[in-house]
Amino acid sequence: MIELIPAIDIIDGNCVRLTQGKYDQKKVYSSRPEEIAKEFEAMGLKRLHLVDLDGARVGHVINLGILEKIAEQTSLEVDFGGGVKTNEDIRQVLDAGAGMVTAGSIAVKDPGLVGDWIREYGPDTIILGADVRQGLISIHGWQEDTSLGVLQFIQNYLATGIQKVICTDIATDGMLEGPSMDLYRELRKSFPEMKLIASGGVSGMQDILDLEEIGINGVIFGKAYYEGRITEDDIVNFLKSS
């Protein structure tokens, strides 16, 4: 069964959503992200994708306090991303209660360091973050595009033992128009053993079922829930049926 992974994105301590990663297209949904996390836990969800958008933009972790609150007040397994660039960053994030860390920009800029993290903390802890725009990896909070193709990016990490990849198609993110199914089919075919987590574009439960049908292991959703396209009942019923 595909794993449902709700997302909480943080700017200035608030739970927000962007459209296509554009910081000037921000909508605030809550000033208390820990309360949103409690809602997800009450539905029966076990996992949370927490993104420090401030940290992603400036290049170092900013919203560590939010992570600490969520870890203290819920039993959700948190995967944290955004601004993790150094050994000290990753230690702080794990000490604050994250169970997993997503390596995005740093995985492009310093693959040797991320390879060290995978060996030290294990492939269950380190997730490769592949943020894609028109097939190419984007970094620094999606503010900078690279010339590195997503397939090559993931291929480069196979020798490290990486087992989990979150792939976000930036063009679809926050648009509520459906995920990039062709991209995920290609990734599933190219990396049959990888645990693939799709992110971006989910507009309702049917999209989640479609991703499950093609063999995607997990799906991150945010705006569809915050805008009422996916309801609490939808989530509870899906979990019951599994």
As a whole number of angstroms, the distance between CA 99 and CA 65 comes to 15
Tokens representing 93 are 């994030």
The residue annotated as part of the active site, out of 9, 54, 79, 89, is: 9
Q: Which helix (H) or strand (E) holds 118?
A: helix 111-121
| Residue 110 designated active-site | no
Contact in structure between 52 and 81 (CB atoms under 8 Å): yes
| Residue 9 designated active-site | yes
As a whole number of angstroms, the distance between CA 236 and CA 242 comes to 10
Q: What residues have CB less than 8 Å from 88, skipping those under 6 apart?
A: none
As a whole number of angstroms, the distance between CA 91 and CA 101 comes to 10
Contact in structure between 195 and 217 (CB atoms under 8 Å): yes
Contact in structure between 33 and 12 (CB atoms under 8 Å): no
The residue annotated as part of the active site, out of 54, 79, 89, 131, is: 131
Q: How far apart are the first and last CA of the chain?
A: 7
What sign for the dihedral angle of Cα 74, 18, 170, 133? negative
Nearest to 84 by CA among 70, 72, 95: 95
The amino acid at 91: R
Residue tagged 């309360």 (tokens): 35
So which residues are the catalytic ones?
Answer: 9, 131
